[in-house]
Structures are given as C-alpha cells and as structure tokens.
Structure 1
Amino acid sequence: MKTHLIPALLLALSAALPATSEAWWNAEWTQRTRITLNTTDQGLATQEAASAVPVAVRLHSGNFDFASAKEDGSDLRVLAADDKTPLKFSLERFDSVNELAVLWVQLPSVLPGSDKNQFYVYAGNSKVAAGEASPAGGFDAALVSAFHFSDITKPGADHLGSPGREAGLVVVEPNGLLAASLKLEGRAVQLPVADKPLLDAAQLSLSVWVKLDDVASAKLLQWGGLQIAVQAGQLRASVGGSELRGGELTVGRWTQLGLRVGAGKAALLLDGAVVADAAASALPSLGSTLSLGDGARGLADELQISASARSNAWLAISAGAQGAQGKLLSAQREDAAAAEGESHGYMGILIKNLTADAWVVIVICGLMLLIAIWISVAKGLLMGRIDQANRAFLKRFRDATDNLLHLEQGGAHAESPLFRLYQAGVRELAKRKAGQDGAAPLSGASMDAVKASVDADYVRENARLNGGMVMLTIAISGGPFLGLLGTVVGVMITFAAIAQAGDVNVNAIAPGIASALLATVAGLGVAIPSLFSYNYLASRIKNTSSDMQIFIDEFITRAAELYGAR
C-alpha cells in the first residue's frame, strides 16, 4: 500500500467526526456544572411559566469538583443558559472538606413543558481573592424572610433570622433537608418576622418543610391569625375565620407545607400542589413573632415568607427544586477541556461522560479499525494486480507450443502467482535436462517429483495470499468482546459513582450508561466493516487459489506430453 493513502484515510476518519463548539463563559474558570430543570412529564410537569423562582442547587462530589474550587466558594459564579448573563445567587452552605454545598439561584424565568431550562455554576478560578464573591441575591424583592437554619456558630446551635435579624440559639440537625435543619422537640420555637410588608401588600405566600416523627396532633405553625396544624395525620389550616382541610402527612417523610392568601382567597398546599382552598376576606393580624413546631417532634427546614401570592407553577417549582428526591433538577459536571471538544447533539453528551476505561477500549478499537482498513485496502489492491498479472501470463502459457520452457523471456509477470509456480516447475525440469538435446524422456517418478516441488510452492503462495487476514479475524471476533468489556466496566463505575454521590435520579444515571454503551458501539464499528471486507477478500483469494491448482495440473500435463516417456 502506498504511503500517500495514510493521510487520506486519516482525513476521511476526521471528516466523519461531528463538528465541535467552544462555548465557555470565561477561560479563567476551569469547571462548570450544568443544572437542568425538566418541566416535562419526565420531570415535574408545569402548565405555565414562572418568573423569579429561587431554586436550591445541591453540589457534591458527583457533580462538582471541590478540589479545584476555592475553599470558601468565593469563585462560584452562576450564568444563565446563554452562558453570558450572570444570575443572582447566595450560598447557604459550602463545605469543601465534606464536599457538600447548597446555593440558592434566582431564575428569571422557567418555561413549562421543557427540558431546556438550564443554567451553569462555574468554579475553579484560583485568581479570585478569598472572600470575593459575586453579588448575592438568590431571592426576589417580594421575599420577607427566609430561615435556612444553616448558619451554625457552635455545635448544636444556629443563629436564626432574615437579613439584619437574629434570634436565640436553637438545636439543629447538621444533615437535614438541604444542609442543617431545625430540631422540633415538642416546644414552640419563636422566630422574629416583620409583618408590615405583608399587611401593606395584603398578600402572603408561606412555605415550610417538615419531617415528623408523629402526626397525631401538633400546631406546626402559628402566626397571629394564621395557623397550620396536623390532626390524626390530616393537614389543617386557618386564615382568620376561614378553615382549610386537605392532604395527609406521612411519618418520617420530608413534606413541604404551603399557605397562600390573596385576592380574597386562601389556599393550602402540600408539596407544591393545592389540596384545599377557601374564601378569605383579608389578611388577618399577624404580629412580629412566628411560632414553629408547638407539640411537634421531628425536623423543620426552609421557612420562606413572601409578600406576594405566588402562582401554582412558582410554588410547584420551588418545592420540586428543594425536595431531596425530586425529578425536577439534574446536575452534570463539565470542565473546560471537555467543552473545547464538545460536539453538537447527543454525541457530545456521550463523549463528555466517557470513563477512562471506555476511552482505553475506544482507542484500542480505533487502532484495530485503522489496521483493518490498511489490510483491506492493501489486500484489495494486491488482489487486483494479481488477477491482471495472472490473466496476462495464462494467455502466454496457453499460446505456447514448443517453447514452453522459455516463457520467462519477453514478458514480466512478477505479480503473478501462476508465473512463480511456472518458474518452480521450469527449475525442476531444468535439473532433469528436460528439452535438451540428447536428454532421456522423463519417467513417471520424475514427473511426480516435479509436481511435488510445484505443490510445495503452491502452499507457500497460498500462505502469502492469506497474509494479514488473521488481523481481520481478530477484529471480527475480538472487537465486540472488547467493546462489551468496556461497557460492563463503564456501567459498574457509573453505578459506583452514583452510589457514592447519593444522586439516584435518571438524569444522573442515563449519561454514564449511554456513554458506557459507546464502547460496545466502537467494538461493533470495528467488527462489521472487517467482516464484510474479510468475506470479500476471502472469496477473491479462494478464486486465485483455485486458479493455481488448475494451472499446476495443466502445467504438469503439458510437461509430461512434451518431455515424458511415451
């Protein structure tokens, strides 16, 4: 095979690869995590758009590289789906030692029925000074108070309050819903909350997460004329003189409770869905202290109060983003090097999620494919030259009469196996002085010896024709098994990483498994063209081998007629 064919092959292979894009907000940030909100039926289905929604993003070792980020998270930046627009966010927790973080991101808009609601969390810029952070603002202006219960100042305690406020020390559970959670021990916890913005707006949206050890009876929340309670597992609420009942609480399960008042109506919500509503003439008197957890035992977290009647979609998305087992949010880690080679469509997702073992298998399969292509092209060209040379020599041989032993003169047939077999026969006849003046006719034993010598050369010619074909058989049989090995190991690694990270949603599993299957595709991509090529070349070699056998018989017969004993 000529050397100029190698660049042509490499050019053809590179042309077959997908086009690449190089979208990256800032080269000084070396990693990013892509967050996707799926509002289709496969995630959390919504029927209307929601604006200014705060979503809680959990970062862990499975979707974020804490080793490359600043210890205090000061290099975190959040960008919208266009990879250009900065989004407001705030950190609730950033623990680089245990590799856990929670940040609140305010999304300008979340579209319904879409899996393209995306944004990016960037990190990995060592040039950012310690303590230098992006302007905070994970919530909109309608938020009155948000209690995260995560600002731990000493073991077992948390300073509570909205910006500019503090309350007394209370007992917290370090590992709660998002980060730390408030422990409910039967006594009411008093929280300071300003009610003036709510009364001025005459609207209210309130939500709190609870995980109860007992659902027999408890006043979960009491704030002036507002109350949310549980009685025999059933959720109850009162707004002034309006009573609402609906929904059931389950022991030991995180559940979001919500209350919305505005436009003459009050609604009770459970996990973002309305379970009861009633007419409410006005927002009742509230006071400046909210009581939480009177008679309840368990955990409470993420109490948010807004001076706005949030829409159903807003409340559903907010609840889905905070829930630990929700299908709304998925996170996938990326880095700058991978993004430079990111391809359009699904192939880019597969390539970005390939594990090291899958890459090894794919590289080996690629080398096997190049070898198979090399052998197929070289052998195909060789068989073409052999066929042409055989036809030319066979015509001269059959046209010869008394000069049968002198066909080497007047023609070059170096590519012809038939010509080389002819040369082997002529050499044996020359040893026995066949055709020379005064030479005795050859006996039957002599002709058998000549045929045996030509047969030996036939075996060597046959081996030459089949040279390299074993590499095609290796590609055919070994490629699929090698690809299967890469897939099995890749799936094992994917499940091990998911088990370690604790992220069990399908969006975390699917990319890794799909990428692992790419190794099997690579193995089949080697085996299938190699199989076609092998069968084609084997048939041509078989035909040439048959021609050689026929020629040997024809040559020996003519030699016996001319030089054998009568």
Structure 2
Amino acid sequence: MSRPINGTTDNRPSPRNWMRRASALTLGAAFATIMLTTSAAAWWNDEWEMRKKLSLDTSSTGAAITDAIGSQAVLIRLHVGNFRFAAAKEDGSDLRFVSSDDKTPLKHHIEKYDALLGEALVWVNPGELQPGAKSDIWLYYGNKKAVATSDPKGTYGSETALVYHFAERGTPPQDSTVWLNSAQTAGQAADGSLIGLGLKLDGAAPITIPATAALAFAQDSQLTWSAWVKPAALQRNAVIYSRREGANAFVVGMDDGAPFLEIAVNGAVQRTAAAAPVAPGGWHHVAVVVSPGLATLYLDGSAYGSISTTLPALNTIALLGGDSAVAAPPAPARPAPAAPVADASVAAADPNAAPADAAAPAGDADAALAADGSAPVAEPTLPARAVAPAPAASSAAGFAGDIDELMIIKAARPAGFIKALVASQGTDPSKFIVFSVDEETSSWLTGYFGVLLKSVTFDGWVVIAILLVMGVASWMVMVEKHGYLSRQKKGNDAFTDRFRSMRGDLTTLLDADAVPADGKRRRNPLGNSSLFRIYKIGAKEIRGRFPDDAQGSTHPLSAEAIAAIRAALDAGLVRELQQLNRLMVILTISISGGPFLGLLGTVMGVMITFAAIAMSGDVNINAIAPGVAGALVATVAGLSVAIPALFGYNWLTLRIRDLTSDMQVFVDEFTTKLAETYSADRPRKLPMAAE
C-alpha cells in the first residue's frame, strides 16, 4: 500500500515490499554461503577433507624408464614425512586413490597401516604406465565416516597367478590375487624386511606352494617371476624357487652370489652363465621373464643372463627355499655302475633327490655325478652346450636368507615392467613416486577453519549468533538503502528538469500524478522523487487557496499565505529527511557494538579455556591452542560485522547528504518562484502554459 503524506501519494517501499526484498536477500546470502562451502577446484568427493597428488615419474628426471611398462600394482610408502596420519582414520580405511581425471577410483589394498608409528604400505593399481612420462593419481583421506574398500584381488589383473607379501606371522603366506594360491606350510617372519614383514628361509625347511589349475603351465607358456632376496651368506647352488615335473624343471637360485636360472625341457637342461656376483647381506631384485624361445634373468632391473629355451609343462607343487626334485617313474631295474657318494648326509638330507640312473638311460655315464658336483665318474663326457652344465639336483641346497614380495604372472612382461617394479619397491622410490603437498577442501566447514569452529565454546556460539543477526540486518539495510537512494536520485534529476522549465502557474505538474480518465493508474516516472513529493505539498497548498473560478497565476497570495506554504514545505522536507535516515541506526549499532560483542565472546572463551586447563592440570600448547583459537573466532565475527557496516555507513551518509542539500535548495527555489508568481504586489498578466 502507498502511504499518504499531507494528502499526497507516497511511492516509497511498503512493509510488504520490504519483507519481500528481505526474503530475496536472505536467499541470496544462503546461496552465497553454499557457493563458498563448495570446493573451488575439482574434488572427487567433498566428504573427504584432504587430498595429495602423487606423480609416477618414468621420465629422465625420475626413474628414467624408456621400455614399455604396462599395468602393475605400485607400492605407495606413507610415513610422517609425506602423510598426515592424524587427519586420517586410525586404520586407514578412509584412504582412496583416484586417477588423474579426479573421477575414477583406483583399486588398492593395504599391506600395513600403523598410525601410531606413522608407517603405511599401500598397493595401488594406477592402470597403464607410459615410459618417459609422468602419470598423476590422487590420494584422498580425512573422512571419519568412510568404510574400508581395500581390494587385494582387484589390485592385480587376472594374469597374475600369485602374489605373496609375507605379511603373516605363524601362518602360511597368503595369496593376494583372485586365485587364492596360498602356501601350504608356514615359515619364520622376518622383521624389518624390505617391504614390511618378510620371510626368513633357513635352507632346510622350504615353503610349499600348491599345485593348482591357476599355477599350471602348458608347454611354451609365458611366465614372469619376481622376488626380492637378501642372501645371508655365499652358497653353492642355493635354490630360491624350484618346480620340477618329471624331466621338466624351472629353478631360480644363487651360486656363490651369482643368480642363475635353470630350465629343463624333457631332460635337456640349460642354465644361464654366471656373471658378477652380489655380496650377501643386501637386498636385490631377481626376476625371470620367459617367452617362447627366450628366457631372460634380471638382477635389480637389468638383464643379467638369458638362455634360448621355452617354458616346459609344469603342474606340480613348487618349493620356496628348497629344491623340488620330483623324478619321473623309474625305469626297470638294470645293472648300473656304482657312483661314489662323498657325503651320505647329502642324500639323507634330500629324500626327494632323483637317483642317478633316473636322470638318463642306463649306460649313459654322464647322468651320474658325484655328490659334491665333481666330474662324472665314467666315460663318456657331457656333450658340448652353449650354456654352463647344470649340477644334479642332489647337489643343490636350500636358499638361506630373507625373501620378500614373490610374484608369478602367466604372461611375459616387458623390460620396463621389471624396471618399474624395482623403482617403486626398492630402497629409494623417491625418483619414481613424487609426493606433492596436502590440499584441503575449500569448504569453510573443513580444514583449519573447521578446527576453529569445533573449538568454539557454547557462549562463543551465542555471541556469534547475535553477531550473525546484526550482520544480516546491516547488509539488508545497506542493500535496501542503496537501491532507495539510487531511485530517488534518478527521479529528482527528471523532476528538476521539468520544474525549471515551468512558467506561470506552479501547480501544473500536479496533473502528472492525476488518475487518468480510464481509471487505470500508470507508473509515474516522478514517483520516486523526493523533490516531487515536496513539490506536491506546495502545489496543493496553492490550489487550496485559489477560488474555484481562479485562473492559473492570476490569483494573488498574501505574504502570510506564502509563509504558511513555506512552513508546509519545511515539514515535508523534515519527513523526507527522516525517511532518508531511517534504519541507519542499525549500521551505527553494528559498527560500534560488533567489535565489543566479539571481544566479549573472546574473553569468555579464553576464561573457560584456562579454567578447564586449571581443573585438568594438563598445561601444554596442544591444550591451550584450540581453546584460544576458537575464542578468537568471536572477535573475527565482530570485526566481520563492523567493517562492512562502517564502509557502507560512510558511503550512504555521503549520498544522503547530497540528497538533503538538493531538497533544501529546492524548497528555497520553490518559495522564491512562489513569491515571484503569486505576490500581491506583482502586476497581473495572462497565465502561460507550461512547456
């Protein structure tokens, strides 16, 4: 509704319009708050407060891998230097790994997570790794409501037949792949291994790996075998892994520190030539890749030796840390030359050793070797081969030392794959995996600001709530006042042009506010002008003093009538000034009261914090800092209310002063024209129409 002023129509905002605008402003403020609490950058899930970028670098500045790599599980080592354990759950169940697009979750599983010691070992499958490039993944954490999604079986592809982390104590090693090829016998755990726990092999009690369909290999199959080993001492023909079936065999071991690969296909035995040995007491990566026609032995990521052969058919158990000499069915008994036994204990210690006459037909003297690996006892000699001759199974010993991270893949992986294994799992993975800084979600309810909010006491929240009401009220006043003053300024400019062009009768502009003959009120362009509202007061006073038959300015007014009209104009001016300054007191209250209320909340918060410390008797920075920081939030809230109100008040006051001056000038100008036009001493003349 419009409000009459001295019988005039006022176009200022009604209470209903005020409430409507206040509601719109409140909704706008709520929307702005939502936008502020939304992550400014792409964020996989806003429920996670922290994230960190991990760069897998295979370029020249990183691991410098130029060969094809493919897909593999990458080891992520977390420690207090690169990860904030305090921000994650105690069991690490909130860890999530996301691809570089920040949308696709990656499969992972946790081998070890110790928040107290600040150590964690996590295996992640980042997908295809490209040589000579950087691949980024995201590590998210910091969600106390998250549930565990560790998926060991999903971390490895279907071609991976066996993965032993050796993280068990007192139980057989468990397979982490989907094939569940867990070992059949337990071993001794080795603390402080290369990757968490390892397995200690004593050379006498090997670990039995079952013969399953997933571990069965047909003739000419492909194979990738990988393990980390730490020899305890130099040993002759120490077998790390062996698998034999009849005249076929696959053996990996060390001979006086030199790794070797031995493959027997239908009785034809080949072994890689010895190269530079490794010293005992250090960790080394040994890998074998067998493709049709070629078997390559790798040491610490580099090719160490190779033989031209294929993988034989194997479908028997395997031994880890011993030799599985499973012989073919013996031939019918026949006389054979006796072979001397240098040490009967060797035969007794290896009941699975094949008899000398089972390795070759009777009469083939090169099949019978002395127990100590010396030359054959009978003629003829071994036929010439391109590789070193392999000793008999009876001369092999079990590997003594530590082993960690055994993996068998039923596919031939490229050389870059082996190098990436060494780079990510070795003692110095810093070149391959680069950790960036922690990032926090940009929501005001998380991160450091969230810590502050959680530390605010109840009395502090009461003060902040009062300040919030004051802040919203002051912003509503500033926005409404700005719009009102802008509309009034525009209306005053339009009215001033028309008023100064008037000649003669000063009441002619009253018709601009008249109701048309059709009864439909139209928007008056001068309705927002305070000068027009004051003008209407004066014009109606003039017409009220005209006789009904008076014509325009031909009717004179006495000095007393002009003074009375001036008094009415001054009254209208006062009411307009009151309207201009309406609600400005809210800004002054916010300016002066906001900081003091904030200070009150801070003082009370500090008092409560120190009182709680005095009662508990625990005096340390961790006990004091959160309470004091939370108490200071009230001061920040008070200043946040007062500072915008101060700027807004000064700006609005300047504009109100300008409008006040315009109205005062107009009252003087109108009174002067009134005296000039309607004075009794002025000569009468015919009225002139307004331009």
TM-score range, shorter chain: 0.5 to 0.7
Q: How many residues align?
A: 315
**Which residue does 2:436 correspond to in 1?**
332
- 1:79 aligns to 2:98 (yes or no): yes
**Which residue does 2:310 correspond to in 1?**
281
- 1:303 aligns to 2:409 (yes or no): no
Shift of 1:286: 5.0
- Between the aligned partners of 1:81 and 1:319, the Cα distance in structure 2 is 23
Question: Deviations for 1:364-420, whole angstroms, at most 9, x for unmatched residues?
Answer: xxxxxxxxxxxxxxxxxxxxxxxxxxxxxxxxxxxxxxxxxxxxxxxxxxxxxxxxx
Shift of 1:335: 2.7
- Between the aligned partners of 2:276 and 2:299, the Cα distance in structure 1 is 7
Pairing 1:18-29 to 2, within 5 Å after superposition: 22-29=41-48
Which one-letter code corresponds to 1:242 in the other structure? Answer: Q
The answer as to whether partners of 1:31 and 1:333 remain within 8 angstroms in 2 is no
- Residue in structure 2 matching 1:91, options 106, 110, 113: 110
- Residue in structure 2 matching 1:234, options 255, 258, 263: 258
Structure with greater proportional strand content = 1
**Which residue does 1:422 correspond to in 2?**
none
- 1:119 aligns to 2:137 (yes or no): yes
Which one-letter code corresponds to 1:147 in the other structure? Answer: Y
Pairing 1:414-429 to 2, within 5 Å after superposition: none
- Between the aligned partners of 1:334 and 1:149, the Cα distance in structure 2 is 31
Q: TM-score, normalised by structure 1?
A: 0.52
- Between the aligned partners of 1:323 and 1:96, the Cα distance in structure 2 is 23
> Structure 1 pair 247/222, CA: closer, same or farther in 2 (3 Å)?
farther
Shift of 1:135: 8.0
Pairing 1:499-510 to 2, within 5 Å after superposition: none
- Between the aligned partners of 1:249 and 1:180, the Cα distance in structure 2 is 23
Which one-letter code corresponds to 1:270 in the other structure? Answer: L
Shift of 1:140: 1.0
Runs of 4+ residues over 6 Å off in structure 1? none
Shift of 1:57: 0.9
- Give the match's secondary structure for 2:73: strand
- Between the aligned partners of 2:152 and 2:278, the Cα distance in structure 1 is 38
Shift of 1:338: 8.0
- Between the aligned partners of 1:339 and 1:314, the Cα distance in structure 2 is 41
Which one-letter code corresponds to 2:242 in the other structure? Answer: Q
The answer as to whether partners of 1:204 and 1:309 remain within 8 angstroms in 2 is yes
> Structure 1 pair 309/133, CA: closer, same or farther in 2 (3 Å)?
closer
> Structure 1 pair 81/250, CA: closer, same or farther in 2 (3 Å)?
farther
Pairing 1:135-534 to 2, within 5 Å after superposition: 137-152=154-169, 157-162=170-175, 163=180, 165-194=182-211, 196-197=213-214, 198-200=216-218, 202-217=221-236, 218-224=238-244, 225-240=249-264, 241-245=269-273, 246-292=275-321, 295-326=398-429, 327-337=431-441
The answer as to whether partners of 1:75 and 1:125 remain within 8 angstroms in 2 is yes
Q: Which runs of 5+ in 1 are unaligned?
A: 1-19, 341-566
Q: TM-score, normalised by structure 2?
A: 0.43
Q: Which moved more, 1:35-44 or 1:117-126?
A: 35-44
Q: Which runs of 5+ in 2 are unaligned?
A: 1-38, 323-396, 445-691
- Between the aligned partners of 1:36 and 1:339, the Cα distance in structure 2 is 25
Q: Percent identity?
A: 29
Question: Deviations for 1:461-502, whole angstroms, at most 9, x for unmatched residues?
Answer: xxxxxxxxxxxxxxxxxxxxxxxxxxxxxxxxxxxxxxxxxx
Shift of 1:283: 2.5
> Structure 1 pair 236/73, CA: closer, same or farther in 2 (3 Å)?
same
The answer as to whether partners of 2:229 and 2:404 remain within 8 angstroms in 1 is yes
Shift of 1:174: 2.7
Shift of 1:172: 0.8
- Between the aligned partners of 2:127 and 2:200, the Cα distance in structure 1 is 33
Which one-letter code corresponds to 1:230 in the other structure? Answer: M
> Structure 1 pair 161/317, CA: closer, same or farther in 2 (3 Å)?
same
- Give the match's secondary structure for 1:321: helix
- Give the match's secondary structure for 2:239: strand
**Which residue does 2:644 correspond to in 1?**
none
- Between the aligned partners of 2:259 and 2:311, the Cα distance in structure 1 is 22
Q: Which moved more, 1:47-56 or 1:78-87?
A: 47-56
- Between the aligned partners of 2:302 and 2:201, the Cα distance in structure 1 is 25
- Between the aligned partners of 2:183 and 2:311, the Cα distance in structure 1 is 30
> Structure 1 pair 337/149, CA: closer, same or farther in 2 (3 Å)?
same
The answer as to whether partners of 2:173 and 2:182 remain within 8 angstroms in 1 is yes
